[in-house]
Structure formats: structure tokens, C-alpha cells
Structure 1
Amino acid sequence: MNTRLSRTRQDLADFLRRKRASVQPEEVGLSRSSRRRTPGLRREEVATVAGIGLSWYTWLEQGRDIRVSAHLLDSVARALRMSSEERQHLYLLAQERPPSAPADTWCEMPPLIRVLLDDLTQRPAFVMNLRWDVIGWNAAGDGLFAFSDYPKDKRNMLWMYFADKRLSCRVQDWPRQAAQIVSSFRRDYAAGHHPSDMQDLADHLQTASHTFRRLWRDHDVQGRCEGRRSFEMPDRGKVAFDHTTLIIDQDRHLRLVYYVAVEGSPADTLSIRRSAIDLASE
């Protein structure tokens, strides 16, 4: 047996036994017998509350080499009243991967991240969720993308790129950039668990944009969306930016997208902000 897998299964066994011992019968709607000697729950009680077979739970807790589904792990996590952090730990031990992203996408800006954005005064930056809704930005980011010009329900990077030509018409080499953007979103779409809101967005974009519809149906999946992107700026011509995406909250799937003007590019932060805002108001 692989040494790492053997160690992981032992860790899984220890973790489940400790969690089982920490949950009281009353917490899951069971009565406490006066003759109970086992601290916490019995294995058969966990299986009953989880709605799974006793043999399957026993094998799982013993760390046996069995294949378990996400449904079974979620049932065990609920029965043992696991927190989101404990559920993620369970998945990592049992399947060596984190659980799928939740269906609902986070739409609130954490206060500390708001401070971080405000501190980034020299470079365009914004925060988006798994659905690519933009939930926060700094002044330079608003200058480049004019987020404040969009209503909240349209403040989504995919919608802005594909359903509103004010942004895409400024992007140089748009066909290549469009393909990269859609393939990157494909990765996030697959990461979601029953992503009804993401499916609704994709459906609407296929109706609104022939380009998006064609690229979406290609099912092309590449790496994350980063690299170099150039924008046409009034009175400045083409301005090139290097951009990257940083995970700032893994559990809520929030990412900080950060743009840096390429050295020697004909623009500084102030002129980028002014030019982009003027363009958005035309």
C-alpha cells in the first residue's frame, strides 16, 4: 500500500472516531440511554442519522480502501455536525480533493478585502466571485472598466465583455482574448456544484452574444485567465497590461484580479483613470 495513502486513511479513521465521540445523541434527535457507555454516538447511530449502511460507515471509519461518493461524505458530515472547515478536511482525507464549490456564489465584500483594495491605489484591481460577479473594486479599476456605470445585475465580467460592446471594442486581439476568457470561466463553471445561477448566466449570454455562444459550445478548457491584455485608450492608443488572479478567500471562491501597466506603456495611473472614465461617458 502507498505509504501516503496508508497514513491518510489512518488520519481519516482517527478524525471520524473523534468527531463521533464529540457529538451527543440529543444533538441529532436521539434519546440517551441510561446504559450508554460509548461517549458520543455509536457507529450504528451515525449510519442511521446519515441514512447510509452501517457496513459502509464502519469501513469508512476503519480507513478501509473503499470508494465513497460525495453524497455519502456529505451525509456523514451532516450527521456528525461538521463545520465547513471539517467537511473540507473530510473530503481531503477521503478523496484527496476539496468538496465541490457551493451552488450559491458569494456576493458580499469582506471588510478586510475592502481595505486591501483601497490600499492598492496605483493599479487597477477588482474582486469577483465564482460566477464572475464583480463585488468590489478600487478607483483605478473603476477607471479602466467603469464598473460604477453598470447596474448591479449587469456588473459581471462576462456580461461586460460579451453583452456590452463598450468594453470588448477596446480590447486588442479580441478573438484570442475572448476564447481565453470563456475557457477560463468553463473551469469555474465545472467547479460549482449544481450552479443554477451560473447556468442562467451562460444561457443569457448565449442569447445575447453570438461570440459567447460559439465559444461556449466549443467546450475548450485552458489555464486560468492571466497574461497580457491590451486596451485602446483615448488619446493614448494601445495600453498593455499584465494581469493575474489571486485567491483571497478559498472557501467563498473570491478572487482578486490585478492589472499592471507594462513598463514603458504610454499611460500612468492618473491618465488611465481619466481616459477610461471619459470613454465610458461618451
Structure 2
Amino acid sequence: MLEVDRQSELGDFLKNRRARILPAHVGLPEHGRRRTPGLRRAEVAMLAGVSVDWYTYLEQGRDIQVSIQVLESIARVLQLDEFERKHLFVLAHCQLPPYIHPPQLQVSDTVQRFLDQLGHAPACAIDPKLNVLSWNKAFSVVYGDYSYLNEQDRNLLWRTFTSTEFIALKGSQWKEHALRLVAQFRARYARFIEDPWYTDFVMNLQKVSEPFRELWELHEVLDAPEGRKIILHPLVKELAFEHISFQSLDAPDIQILVNIALPKFDTARKLAILIDQK
């Protein structure tokens, strides 16, 4: 029953968006008055490269299979924006579409102000490749000042396997963290598999880190937050955090990671001391 509802919703969405597109919008001539606004089904089918009957079945909510290529063609014909395109894929495939262009990776002033105003909560903004794009003062006092790192070393996965300082911070939890992060990266990688950056990055990290190579060959996939963790800071010893992550609507390709101090090990007081000394 749920599947029928999903297909009906997909059909209604396609009909609604088809009604917005005039023939002139897609380079077609007008042929007299139309009883209904927008493109005809036959016109959408022709421009998308599918049969009229097949497209009609799709709008009627019938149980038919739709390939990624056809969905992309329909999205192009109906001139869907990025949010509408994602909605189309979720309705048709129950998952987000693959990226067709590099995501927006600029951290806005609003996001940076948000990070700064978190005070004693270490926080950063990352892109889909796990590159740290921006951070606050609390993040620097716990994980090190990323402003002194080059672009490669600012990558969370690269730093996890190549930084002795970061490995020391994680202590006995390093292996669990490393496995989780590799699984998260592989889950993201599936959406960017056409991007040569990923192939080069994985190959280079495999060359310099045998532990990464072993974990990568496990093919574990995970897209879940880290949860609670302990950091072994060189100055104040143990710090305990709860981890949450979310995305901003104005930059959906950027993920914001926030560490919230837990009462354990007097973490909040220790953080305040570290921040005041910086």
C-alpha cells in the first residue's frame, strides 16, 4: 500500500511540474490554444526520449521501473531545480540522486557565525569529501588549529590515518573511530563515484596507510553519527563529548558537526580553561 502511495505521489508531482512548462520554454512551437496549461505528455516523452505510453504509465502511478538516466532526462525536460530533482529521485528510487556537478562548498558568513557562537562546543563544517572547511575556537583547542594545515591534511579521513597527534587524541577509541569514518566515506563515495578525486584520494591514502588499506577492503558502509566519544587532550587529559551533525538548508552539501560536552571528566570546565588560555 505504501508503494502505491509513493507512485501516486510521483505521478502527481510530475503532472504538477509538467503544467508549469510552456512549449516555448523547451524550444517547441505553439500550436493553437491548449485545454490544459503546460506541456503535453507526448511532448515530455519525446524530449525525454521515452515512449508516450511509458511516460503516461509513470504519471498514472503504475508500478514500472525507472532508470537513473530516464529520471535525469525527465528532470531536465521539466527544468527541475536541485531540490525538486532530489525529490523526484526520492519518490522514484527512495534515495537521493547522484551528483551531476560539484556541490556548493562555500561556508556562508551565517554558518561561520553559528559556529563561533557555539562557545565551548567544538564544531566544524565539512564537505561531502570530509574536508574541514570551517571551524570555531573550541574546535581548534581540542583538535588543533586547522589554519596551519594544508588542504590534504584538513581532510578528516586523511588526518585520521596520517596524523600521530590525532591518533593520540583518540587513544583506545581510534580503531573504532577509523572504521566508522571509512564506512561513512564509502557511503558518500557511492554518490560521487564518477569524480576522479575520490579514486586519487583512496589510492594515495592506501599508499601511505596500511590500516586504511585493510579497512577499505572490508567494504563497510555506514552513514550514522559518531555518538559519544572520549578525547585524550595533551593538556587536560580526558574530555567527553556527545556528537551531533546536521545540514543547513542554505548549503545542503555542507555538514555541520558539533561536539557537546558531557559531565564526565569535568569536560565543560576543562574546555573553558583551554579556550581562555588560547
Taking structure 2 as the reference length, what is the TM-score of the superposition? 0.86
Q: 1:55 is aligned with what amino acid?
A: D
Question: Deviation at 1:255?
Answer: 1.8
Equivalenced residue count is 274
* Bigger Cα displacement from structure 2, 83-92 vs 210-219: 83-92
What is the rounded CA distance, in whole Å, between the counterparts of 1:31 and 1:222 in structure 2? Answer: 49
Between the aligned residues of both structures, percent identity stands at 32
Question: Deviation at 1:159?
Answer: 1.6
Number of the residue aligned with 1:159: 158
**2:247 is aligned with 1:247:** yes
What is the rounded CA distance, in whole Å, between the counterparts of 1:114 and 1:98 in structure 2? Answer: 27
Question: Deviation at 1:20?
Answer: 1.7
The C-alpha deviation readout for 1:125-144, integer Å capped at 9, x for no partner, is: 11112111111111111222
Q: 1:108 is aligned with what amino acid?
A: Q
Alpha-carbon distance change, 22 to 246 in structure 1, aligned in 2, over 3 angstroms: closer
* Bigger Cα displacement from structure 2, 218-227 vs 74-83: 218-227
Alpha-carbon distance change, 225 to 5 in structure 1, aligned in 2, over 3 angstroms: closer
Q: Is the Cα–Cα contact under 8 Å of residues 172 and 232 in structure 1 kept in the other structure?
A: yes
What is the rounded CA distance, in whole Å, between the counterparts of 2:53 and 2:251 in structure 1? Answer: 32
Q: Is the Cα–Cα contact under 8 Å of residues 133 and 155 in structure 1 kept in the other structure?
A: yes
What is the rounded CA distance, in whole Å, between the counterparts of 1:250 and 1:202 in structure 2? Answer: 30
* Bigger Cα displacement from structure 2, 265-274 vs 143-152: 265-274
What is the rounded CA distance, in whole Å, between the counterparts of 2:82 and 2:35 in structure 1? Answer: 29
* Bigger Cα displacement from structure 2, 46-55 vs 130-139: 46-55
What is the rounded CA distance, in whole Å, between the counterparts of 2:46 and 2:156 in structure 1? Answer: 45
Question: Deviation at 1:39?
Answer: 2.9
What is the rounded CA distance, in whole Å, between the counterparts of 2:13 and 2:7 in structure 1? Answer: 10
Question: Deviation at 1:241?
Answer: 2.9
SS in 1 for 2:105: coil
Structure 1: where are the runs of 5+ without partners?
278-282
**2:58 is aligned with 1:41:** no
Q: What root-mean-square deviation, in Å, do the aligned CA atoms of Structure 1 and Structure 2 show?
A: 2.6
Q: 1:61 is aligned with what amino acid?
A: E
What is the rounded CA distance, in whole Å, between the counterparts of 1:37 and 1:137 in structure 2? Answer: 56
SS in 1 for 2:97: coil
Q: Is the Cα–Cα contact under 8 Å of residues 102 and 193 in structure 1 kept in the other structure?
A: no
Q: 1:201 is aligned with what amino acid?
A: F
Structure 2: where are the runs of 5+ without partners?
none
What is the rounded CA distance, in whole Å, between the counterparts of 1:251 and 1:56 in structure 2? Answer: 36
The C-alpha deviation readout for 1:91-145, integer Å capped at 9, x for no partner, is: 2333333334556243211332222111101111111121111111111112222
* Bigger Cα displacement from structure 2, 33-42 vs 133-142: 33-42
SS in 2 for 1:19: helix
